Amino acid sequence: MILSDQDIKKIAHLARIDVSDEQVTALRPELGKILTMIEHMDSVDTQNVAPLSHPIEANQRLRLDEVTEINQRDTFQKIAPNADHGLYFVPLVIE
């Protein structure tokens, strides 16, 4: 399966990865190879196989509903690039 340049740019945008035009050209055959492998797996008959969500045979453990974390805001905000008034700040995002 061959991806178009546009497909690659869209995926890069969704993942917020800055990819130059040259990189797109290089990525196309690499991604193509991966997709070919996936296509190959698609040819296996899995009709009677339950979907596998996790590779290990184990179940989720649960914790009690208790507050175990203390307020460490000052410590966390010391390493934040931009924090003030108790808030973390990022460049303005408008919906």
Partner 1 sequence: MEWETVIGLEVHAQLRTKSKIFSGAATAYGAEPNTQACTLDLAMPGTLPVLNHAVVEMAIKLGLAIDAEINKRSIFERKNYFYPDLPKGYQISQFQLPIVGKGHLKILLEDGTEKVIGITRAHLEEDAGKSMHEEYSQQTGLDLNRAGTPLLEIVSEPEMRSAKEAVAYLKTLHTLLRYIDICDGNMQEGSFRCDANVSVRPKGQREFGTRAEIKNVNSFRFVEKAINYEVERQIALLERGEKIVQETRLYDADKNETRSMRSKEEAHDYRYFPDPDLLPLIITIEDIQKILTTLPELPEKKRLRLMHDFDLTPYDASNLVMTQALANYFENVVAIVGKPNAKLAANWIMGDLSASLNKFNLDITNSPVTPKQLSELLMRISDNTISGKIAKTVFEALWENGGNADAIIAEKGLKQVTDTGAIEAIIQQVINNNPMQLADYRSGKDKLFGFFVGEVMKLSRGKANPQQVNDLLKEKLQ
Which residue, 44 or 94, has its beta carbon nearer to partner 1? Answer: 94
**In angstroms, rounded to a whole number, what is the distance separating the alpha carbons of residues 36 and 1?**
6
Note whether 48 and 35 are within 8 A (CB): no
Least distance (Å) between residue 70 CB and partner 1? 8
b/e map 72-86, b = 16+ CB within 10 Å: eeeeeeeeeeeeeee
Q: Please, which residue, 36 or 88, has the CB nearer to partner 1?
A: 88
Q: Which residues bind partner 1 (CB under 8 A)?
A: 14, 16, 51, 53-54, 56, 58-69, 71-73, 76-77, 82, 85-95
Least Å distance, CB 1 to partner 1, is: 17
Shortest distance (Å) from residue 88 CB to partner 1: 4
Q: How far is CA 30 from the centre of its chain?
A: 19
CB of 14 to partner 1, least distance (A): 6
Residue 59 CB coordination number (10 Å)? 7
